[in-house]
Amino acid sequence: MRRLALILSLLAQTSTALATDPPSVAKAALDFELSDGHRFVTLASLPAQPTVINFWRADCPPCVREMPELAALARAGRVRVITVALQRPAETAAAPAAIQAALQPPLLSLHGPGEPRGLLARFGNRAGALPHTVILDTDRRACAQHTGEINRRWLAEALATCGKT
């Protein structure tokens, strides 16, 4: 109980410093059509559920660092977690075993297009910087996003913020 209180206290203290970026993407429902290696997956075809979408590369250290956190979130089952690798499958296959383990279901691991400019811009990242994380509400509208490394606290706060909208 004390531990929980401490976490809540920390969250409260850091809430202003760790404010989520305002979503700069359109308020319309977002969608994509990306490959999981076997079929094309569209967001619209998935059951309505809050969704965390993370864009990453295996040679991007902050991307790799935050991956276990995303995997833990996926396993918790409250939200859907989708990772979109902006590399070819053979390149992500070279990632460390811990990352390969993190990419297993229930996390949905997809690969982005060879030219990801349009995809990234649609999800609020025109500059193409990685890692990039977007949280969608049940209507597939972006309610939080962050460019740069995320952590458990950011995810918790962003999901809480999205839950209020």
Partner 1 sequence: MQHVDPKPLSLAIMLAFAGPALADKQLSEITVSSGKTVGAKPVLRDEIIATESLGARELEKTGATMLTEALDKRPGISVQTECSICNVRNVVLNNLPGRYTTLLIDSIPIFSSVSTAYGLDSVSLGGVERIDISRGAGTSLIAPEALAGSVNMVTRRPTKDEFIGVQQFGSYGHINTDLFGAKVFQGGALTANFNHNGHDSVDADGNKVSEYTGFKRNLGGIGFFLDDVGGFSIKGRLDIVDEKRMGGAMGDDYAKVKADQSGNPFLWSKGKNGSPSNAGWVTVDGFDSDGSGFIGDHPDDVAAGGIRNYDDGLGGMSEIIFTDRQQFISSATHKLGDGSLRFAVGLAKHKQDSYYEHAIYKAEQTQYYLEASTQQPIGATLVTGGVTYRYEDLKSKGAMADGTPNDGIDDYKYKTPGLFLQAYHAFLDGVVEVNGSVRYDDHNIFGGITSPRFNVLWNHSHELNSRFAVGRGFRAPTSFFEQDHGILDTSRIVRDIDKAEISDNASYALSYAGDRLAWVSSLNYNKIKNMAMIDSGATDPVSGAPITLFTSAKKPVTVIGGDITLTYKLTPTLETTVAAERFSYRFSEPGTLAFARPETRAYLRLDYESGPWTGMIRGTWTGPMDLKKFYDYANTPRYNFDGTRKMDKSPDYWTIDLRGEYRLDKRWSLFLGVDNLTDFKQSDKESMLWVDGAGNYDVTQIWGPNRGRFVYGGVKLAL
Q: Does residue 80 touch partner 1 according to CB under 8 A? A: no
Report in angstroms how near the CB of residue 34 gets to partner 1 at its nearest: 6
Annotate each residue in 31-70 with x if it binds partner 1 (CB under 8 A) or - if it does not, as one string.
Answer: -xxxxxxxxx--------------x-x-xxxxx-------
Q: Which residues contact 57 (CB under 8 A, 6 or more apart)?
A: 63, 85, 86, 87, 91, 92, 130
The yes or no reply on residue 88 touching partner 1 (CB under 8 A) is yes
CA distance 163 to 165: 6
Among 5, 12, 17, 45, binds partner 1 (CB under 8 A): 17
CA distances (Å), origin 35, targets 91, 98, 111, 154: 15, 22, 6, 28
Which of 120, 83, 114 has the alpha carbon at shortest distance from 99? 83
Which residues are near partner 1 by CB under 8 A?
A: 17-19, 21, 24, 32-40, 55, 57, 59-63, 86-91, 93-94, 112-122, 124-132, 145-151, 153-154
